[in-house]
Structure 1
Amino acid sequence: MKNIVAITACPTGVAHTYMAAAALEKSAKELGVYIKVETQGASAPENVLTAKDIEAADIVIISAAKEIDLSRFNGKKLVEVSINKVVRDAKKVLEEILVDKDISIYELKTEHKEKKKAQQVGIYKHLMTGVYTMLPFVVAGGILIALSFAFGIHAGDPKDPSYNIIAGAFSKIGGDVAFGLMVPVLAAGIAYSIAGKEGIVSGMVAGMLAKLLGAGFLGGLVGGLLAGYLTAFLIKNIKLPKSVASLKTLIIIPILSVGITGFVMVFIVGTPVKYCLDALTYFLNGLGTRNGVLFGALIGIMMASDMGGPLNKAISTFCIGLMASGVYAPIAACMVAGMTPPLGLALATVIFKNKFTEEEREAGKSCWVLGLSYITEGAIPFAVADPIRVIPSLMIGSGVAGAISLGFNCTSLAPHGGIWIAPIPHVIGNLPMYILALVTGTIVTCFCVGLLKKKKMIITRGNEVC
């Protein structure tokens, strides 16, 4: 029997991490293969691989969307595979790995690591690292701002008669500081992903300049990439004698990377990107009902198309970025469209029981909580089992939800939290229509799934169930 160890990890450390682990364990059991999976989730790693586990392993599988320390696997056969691919079809992944005779041995050498890193990284991965570095600041800041509105819509403003000192503290902590760090942290995260810790300083400066110049999140994206690639270039090409090598990362790299990045941001990048962002903000704020419906439908379709994959992440990142420019309607459409797929499937498992297996009906119970919490990935097991029928149904339902939300100018001052933030006063603008969008999208998803899916045929043969 083959002995496999694996690590699963996604940037947020929530749904994909554990779903990939569960899929690998289930598929390995079906194939008669032993596997132990370490999950590097949001908290401390679970089911940690010991030195004994690694030594006994025939193959190591790394299914991660973030950087993983591979040093402990030196000398082992190691395969890296997309976490989305594992979630969608873990059995096929394992079958391909088991018959592959050309799996390379991982060697802990500098040049090998650099080659591996070059193969693994790309702009999308760098951008996602920046987004997930930024996300806790945005979520914490947005919800603290929302809490300040619970005291009154202007209670956080010292100049307003309704000013409340607690609301003012929430506003200062969440809005002025946490939310204010959004763009600098985004750029720093991107630069860190490209150039390592040496990229943080130039990335942070680029992001702060983007904020000060009015270039917003678009400027932060450009500045982070600029700072990261410039810093990586300087690290690779500046050579110093060993006697003064410590000056390279302590003085020379920071001065050059910050100086060059800063000048490019001030004199080249800042003004054009600010113009583009201002034009985009003006356009979005001026959307009429008809255009709002179309844009909201597009947001919804993208959110449901891959449920936590690249398209989902791209549109949610875009909507979060718009919040820094004071545009709060797209994020509301994004969130309601992200809640709809799990909720629609949960409802479908209740109304159309005969079209789901017993295992799927049990999974449907957890989808109620996942959907209300804005965890779109809860729909993935259903989509994997029947993609041709389920995914279009989810896209239709989410498109309807997004269209209603943006068409009626529903807004959200918090970028996450699902339905649980709705009771906080003034957080969701036009709350009745927002709830209507969620309910309508859920019902449309449910009935599309019910109409398209086939009944599960159960035939009893003796003591066997087929």
Structure 2
Amino acid sequence: MSHRLITPELVGLGVEDPGDKHAVIARLADMVSAAGRADRDGLEAAFEEREAQFATGMPGGIAIPHCRTAAVREASLALLRLSTPVDFGAGDGPADLVIGIAAPDESGSEHMKLLAKLSRALVKADFVAALRGASTPQEAADLVLGVVQPPATAPAAPPAARQGDRPVILAVTSCPTGIAHTYMAAEAIEQAGAERGAEIHTETQGSGGITPFPQEVIDRADALIVSADVNITGRGRFAGLPVIESDTNTAISDAPALVDRALAAIADPSAPRVAASRSGDASAAEGAGASGAHLGWGRRIQQAVMTGVSYMIPFVAAGGLLTALGFLVGGYDVAFVSQDVALKYSLWNLPEAQSYVSNGATLITDHAGLSLYLGAVFNALGGWGMGFLVAALSGYIAFGLAGRPGIAPGFIGGALSVAIGAGFIGGLVTGILCGLIAMWLASLGAPRWLSGLMPVAIIPLVTTLVVGSLMLMLLGRPLAAVMTGLQSWLTGMTGSSAILLGIVLGLMMCFDLGGPVNKAAYLFATAGLSSATDASYQIMAAVMAAGMVPPLAMALSTALRPRLYTSAERQNGTAAWLLGASFISEGAIPFAASDPLRVIPSMMAGGAVTGAMSMALHVGSKAPHGGIFVFFAVDPIWGFLLSIVAGMIVSALLVTLLKAAARRKAAGAAEPAGAPTAV
């Protein structure tokens, strides 16, 4: 880049009364636009959209709002030093240094590279102190340019051989978005290692790309630090190394302690070690699954269950929607004949109306010919897809704990759960057992000649044998009895008990908008679809209807009182109409993230109303997803729509009233004593 990324006109020092973070972002957009480098409204909207995805506040009173958008004509940095710090979501408090990165669409990952350079520099106390002490905009701009556009230097030399007895420590860092925390954690570890005389090498698995450790560096390593909030790739490269694990915030705030632990682990024969073979066939550390050793067992199992749910959802969506399409095309009685028709007939040999037996009576299908054949094909495909539901849940729970060696035993355990009638409860149990046993076997440290067989043969064999035997001999029948009792209870639900369940499910769906509680309610509903009972369809309808309420309610609120929301929030509100109609609860997350104390309780109130009404009206859905676009699988559709509209209105009115009250309170607090009140 030949142009200067930041100039004095893009720097504001000692900014008075900056307002909230939205006002600060607006001021950044004003500066870049005034310099002729971007369209102001488009840049502000892009900043806000990125901020809604993940807070850009960093430890130490720093924030780095950033975006890549077609509204930017020339890559730019803008710096504000605030007289009153503003909350940007950092755990240690508000920020007084705000650096905005605006990159054009065609820049690819260029703005990520800028972020990496900035993030590393902002860990250095002398650089931050210099920014806070800069007396002129020119001085501040030169400081920033010095780290993001330094003068050309000679290429770095290849890794040198070990110098003396200096320990060699590798560090891998990664955060959910792969941006600032990733690079700040790496820089903090490097600084702490240098202070302790260690040779530190870092691999940042971020959005700016990954440069893997050279093999010669791995061969010389004495210990590994994994500072990550997500699973890292290529863990098997580090087989046998002592490993210390943490999240990125720990590395940023207390990197010296991590390095001290890594140094201590080098001389500790009992320290946790990466147990996978160097071929990368598995990647679990001793005593830790993919989630990392810094997490407790409860949290690790919870993450594994969420992994299973996330991988299961495509099976549910494909199977459920195909089943619903089968009903739409072939009629609701197609389920009785779908497999026979799909396997025995073809497009050039279309079926006549088919007879089937229901409740002891012999009946004839309403459809025949092409509609019956296509409906049977769709319905049969959906049924076969739904047949994998429990197996996928179990298999990917095991995968979440033990990596690839857990998949096969988990799938087999899930299939066995279905065969013995234990259903999704059995699938949860087999998935967790398979994951724990496979993870323990991987940690045993097999000799090198056997390590290649462990993940592909020995671990799946032994785990399947142990869990399968436990299910058949001990656990299967009790779990099947629990599942039968649950189904009987759901089938017999009427009146107040059904309404109470609808309220609970509605509250869960709107509590964290796609998080663990929301996913638990969704798992309960989708897993029950395999039983194909009226009760299971009603639970699915209540869950889907309640999950549609938050984005629709926020869309309605932004339409009713647009002045309560920023321009970016109003744009999000427009998009939320479609997201809500499609049953994508996450459409309300930007609003909940910026104002959780008012948004979340309001959404929960509306979700409870919707869940209760849906159950009271006996609304059923044979489709697990799709919102109003699977109207053909919902019965009665009027009850479904009425329940959603009622909950949407309740939530929209509540959140609007709460936000308006907060706005009046803030205006009153800011009004000087005795000043006239604006009308």
Q: TM-score, normalised by structure 2?
A: 0.56
CA distance in 1 between partners of 2:616 and 2:601 (Å): 22
Q: Give 2:530's aligned residue.
A: 324
Structure 2: runs of 5 or more not aligned = 6-48, 66-79, 81-96, 124-172, 179-203, 218-223, 232-246, 267-271, 275-283, 342-353, 356-364, 672-679
Contact 2:229 2:248 in 1 (8 A): no
Q: Distance in 1 between matches of 2:113 and 2:598?
A: 44
The equivalent of 1:63 in structure 2 is 176
Distance (whole Å) between structure 1 residues aligned to residue 230 and residue 410 of structure 2: 27
Whether 1:349 aligns to 2:385 is no
Quote the Cα distance in structure 1 between the aligned partners of 2:119 and 2:552. 40
Instruction: Single out whichever of 354-363 and 147-156 deviates more from structure 2.
Output: 354-363
Q: Please tell me the residue identity of whatever aligns with 1:130.
A: G
Find the counterpart in structure 1 of residue 328 from structure 2.
Answer: 150
Within the candidate set 208, 213, 217, 2:420 is matched to 213
Deviation, 1:390, is: 2.0
| 1:34, distance to aligned residue in structure 2 (A) | 6.6
Q: What number of residue pairs does the alignment pair up?
A: 420
Question: Any idea what SS the aligned residue of 2:176 has?
Answer: strand
Q: Unaligned regions of 5+ residues in structure 1, if any? A: 2-16, 38-45, 84-92, 461-466
Q: Distance in 1 between matches of 2:598 and 2:119?
A: 39
Match of 1:234 among 427, 441, 445: 441
Could you say which structure has the larger radius of gyration? 2
Change (3 A) 1:313 1:49: farther
Contact preservation (8 Å) 2:53, 2:590: no
1:401-416 matched pairs, under 5 angstroms: 401-416=610-625
**Larger deviation: 122-131 or 150-159?**
150-159
Decide whether the 8 Å contact of 1:77 with 1:103 is kept in 2.
Answer: no
Partner of 1:4: none
1:117 deviates by 2.2
Residue from 652, 656, 667 that aligns with 1:450: 656
Contact 1:306–1:312 (CA under 8 A) maintained in structure 2: yes
Alignment counterpart, residue 380 of structure 1, candidates 589, 593, 598: 589
Cα displacement (A) at 1:20: 6.1
Q: Trace 1:69-88 onto structure 2 (pairs within 5 A).
A: 72=211, 80-81=228-229
Q: Is the 8 A contact 1:343 1:442 kept in 2?
A: yes
Q: Which amino acid aligns with 2:542?
A: A
| Identity score, percent | 32
Equivalent AA in structure 2 for residue 439 of structure 1 = V
- Aligned CA distance change for structure 1 residues 390 and 250 (closer, same or farther; 3 Å): closer
Take 1:63 and 1:385, find their aligned partners in 2: how far apart are those partners? 19
Q: Tell me if structure 2 keeps the 8 A contact 1:348–1:447.
A: yes
Question: Are 1:32 and 2:98 an aligned pair?
Answer: yes
Matching of residue 301 in structure 1 with residue 507 in structure 2? yes
Contact 1:217 1:324 (8 Å CA) reproduced:
no
- Counterpart-to-counterpart distance in 2, 1:146 and 1:172: 11
The offset of 1:349, in angstroms, is 1.4
Deviates more, 1:433-442 or 1:444-453: 444-453
Aligned-residue offset at 1:313: 1.3
Q: 1:111 aligns with which of 273, 279, 284?
A: 273
Cα 1:98–1:268 change in 2 (3 A) is closer
User: CA offsets per residue over residues 40-75 of structure 1, 9 Å max, x none?
Assistant: xxxxxx95998898688627650279xx96874769
Q: Aligned partners of 2:439, 2:249: CA distance in 1, in Å?
A: 38
State the SS of the aligned residue for 2:334: coil
Distance of 2:273 and 2:637 partners within structure 1: 56
Deviation per CA, 1:303-327: give whole Å up to 9, x if none: 1111112211111111111112222
- Taking a change above 3 Å as real, the CA distance of residues 47 and 288 of structure 1, as seen in their structure-2 partners, is farther
Q: For residues 163-217 of structure 1, give each alpha carbon's deviation from its aligned partner in whole angstroms, at most 9, with x where no partner exists.
A: 5111111111111x21101111111101111111111111111000001011111
Residues 169 and 387 from structure 1, CA distance in 2 versus in 1: closer, same or farther, beyond 3 angstroms?
same
Which has the higher relative contact order, 1 or 2, with Cα contacts under 8 A spaced 6 or more apart? 1
Question: Are the equivalent residues in 1 in contact too, given 2:52–2:594 (CA < 8 A)?
Answer: no
Counterpart-to-counterpart distance in 1, 2:421 and 2:403: 27
Q: Is 2:351 aligned against 1:173?
A: no
State the distance in 1 between where 2:205 and 2:615 align.
43
SS in 1 for 2:312: helix
Contact kept in structure 2, 1:405 and 1:434, CA below 8 Å = yes
Letter in 1 for 2:309: V
Offset at 1:77? 9.5
Q: Where is the helix percentage greater, Structure 1 or Structure 2?
A: 1
- Larger displacement relative to structure 2 (409-418 or 379-388): 379-388
Q: Which residue of 1 aligns with 2:603?
A: 394
1:197 paired to 2:404: yes
TM-score, normalization: structure 1? 0.79
| Counterpart for residue 127 of structure 1 | 305
Q: Aligned to 1:118, what secondary structure does the other structure show?
A: coil
